[in-house]
Amino acid sequence: MAELKKDNRPPFRNLASVDPYKLFASLHTPAFVIDEAQLIYDGEILKKVQEDTGCRILLAQKCFSNYDLYPLLENYVAGTEASGLYEARLGKEEMPNKEVHTFCGAFREEEFDEVLKYSDHLVFNSVNQLKKFGKKAKDSGKSIGLRINPEVSTQVGHDIYNPCAPGSRLGVTLKNFEEQMDEDTLSLLDGIHFHTLCQQNSIDLETTLKVVEEKFGKYFHNLSWINFGGGHHITREDYDIARLERLIKHVQDTYNVLVYLEPGEATCLNAGYLVSKVLDTFDNGDFHIGILDTSAACHMPDVVEMPYLPPLYQTDLEGYDYKIRLGSQTCLSGDVIGDFSFPGPIKEGDMLIFGDMALYTTVKTNTFNGMPLPGIYLLKKDYSIETIATFGYDDFKHRLGKSK
């Protein structure tokens, strides 16, 4: 690979003092590497917000469920947020001394007793589900919440991640709340939950919270807690933490409630890498093409779903002249990671390192086209590497049928 400059951008901050090409040389690629030092860095920020305000921050497991790191993360969070039975069980088993909050679009009746077993807080998505399961949950000693939809969107585009998009299936609108709620059902509520953000700053929370209070604030005085949901990019360098803390204190002081937040990305922002190697390069008309041993569709699906261009170590620092489109070995024509620039041609066998690959990666990987699952490794603070998990043919085969 052509000579490249040191890369100190946030996704690669902890690689600035080492040669990651040598550091990761022994890994069988593709490989996820989780950065212990960055998890601690993010965790300390979240810990301070809790100390400053008295709020409680939960790990949204839908973003990061690598439970081998839970003993580290539990130093910085009050518990876990789950989206259903399996995540609730994981949170209870792997952070047994912490809270488990479970929200689900709709709970299954045959699973509900088990959900109760693992959960401390239950948040329902409709008044109908609250009426169906709320009393049983309350009688089991659980704290009960209802998710609301304030119908205010601060996002531009990407409706797939917009809980307040028109026709959203998530949360109860004010109209439905007031038409469907009765006194007995209202008395079950300990808290209100809203989740409207995605990778956003606290000014967007302020915009949302103003509408939430205007619409639902009259119900807050009889509650014990209010959950601001996720999507808060608290550990991002330009995030306005002072504004967030003012908003938390305002709600806690005004309504005498405890505020929860349940970010996913903020707990592991910039705390992972996806290490890959170039398998082939060729020209195709006006494009240089590079085929890698990793896949956007299989290993970093948000690149396709969002879509976005993932950070790549030591590229685009100067807008280099050599442009190349990087994609996968799968047969999906759209399995393209993106167009990148280098100071000169890359070649077969070169290592490429993608950044910010802890969040929404290991939890979303799949084996489409028979693509192997990347191994998962931990980069320790002392730059030693520990194997967390490796995968092979059996992991592909056994999820598709019975073992012989």
> What is the per-residue pLDDT for 154?
84
pLDDT digits (tens, 9 = 90+) for 173-183: 999 999 999 99
How far apart (Å, rounded) are the C-alpha atoms in residues 221 and 219? 6
Report how far apart, in Å, the C-alpha atoms of 170 and of each of 22, 114, 127, 140, 222 are: 46, 23, 12, 25, 23
Mean pLDDT of the region 17-36? 97
pLDDT digits (tens, 9 = 90+) for 28-45: 999 999 999 999 999 999
| pLDDT of residue 404 exceeding 80 | no
How far apart (Å, rounded) are the C-alpha atoms in residues 117 and 94? 15
Mean pLDDT of the region 381-398? 97
CA dihedral 205, 208, 212, 215 (to 10 degrees): 160
pTM of the predicted model as reported, rounded to 2 decimal places: 0.95
b vs e for 17-34, b when ≥16 Cβ sit within 10 Å of the residue's Cβ?
Answer: eeebbebbeebebbbbbb
Q: CA angle, 284 as apex, 281 and 285 as ends, to 5°?
A: 145
Note if the bond before 307 is cis, omega within 30 degrees.
Answer: yes
Under a CB-based contact definition with an 8 Å cutoff, are residues 392 and 47 in contact?
Answer: no
| pLDDT of residue 155 exceeding 90 | no
- What average pLDDT does the structure give for the chain? 95
Tokens representing 76?
């910085």
How far apart (Å, rounded) are the C-alpha atoms in residues 266 and 229? 12
> What is the per-residue pLDDT for 160?
79
> What is the per-residue pLDDT for 167?
85
How far apart (Å, rounded) are the C-alpha atoms in residues 191 and 222? 9
Structural domains in the chain?
10-35+271-397 (2.40.37.10), 54-268 (3.20.20.10)
Give the DSSP H/E element, type plus range, for residue 257: none
Residue 276 C-alpha from the chain's centroid: 22
